[in-house]
Amino acid sequence: MTVRTHTPHLLARAGAVSALALATLGGTTLAPGTTADAEAATVSAHALRIAASKRGSPYQYGAMGPYRFDCSGLTVYSFRRAGRELPRTAAQQYGQTRHIPAAARKRGDLVFFHSGSGIYHVGIYAGHGRMWHAPKAGSVVRLERIWSRAVSYGRVR
């Protein structure tokens, strides 16, 4: 595998540099076959930051932002601002994502809650067993521990 890296002068002297640091500072990292994965990771990371920026926004059933959200409205809004379109409901979003095992989940992946065969809630994985979501009426967008094992993960393509 060929990797070509261009790092800004100060970073070159610092030694090893992560791909996230390079992307943040305008560097480039190219590896054949990883362009789509890298782009998806960048989009997901951006969507996660957007969701986090909506902390404290009130829950409203059917709302898709920019000031009020329901659970799937928050994911639609966040990914749209990051450059990806998602369908409106949590169940439709589940059907459109690439399903991944919990061990492979990454920050920015979607967390789907299910009961029986139905999907009833969605959030954006923030790492360390937590997610950003718009929980329910009377609450606000917040970072919260994933409280159930009845979840599945999906990666936005």
User: Active-site residues: which are they?
Assistant: 71, 121, 133
Q: Which two tokens stand for residue 136?
A: 């329910």
Task: Name the amino acid, one letter, at 119.
Answer: I
68, 71, 87, 102, 147 from 106: Cα distances, Å: 26, 19, 21, 9, 18
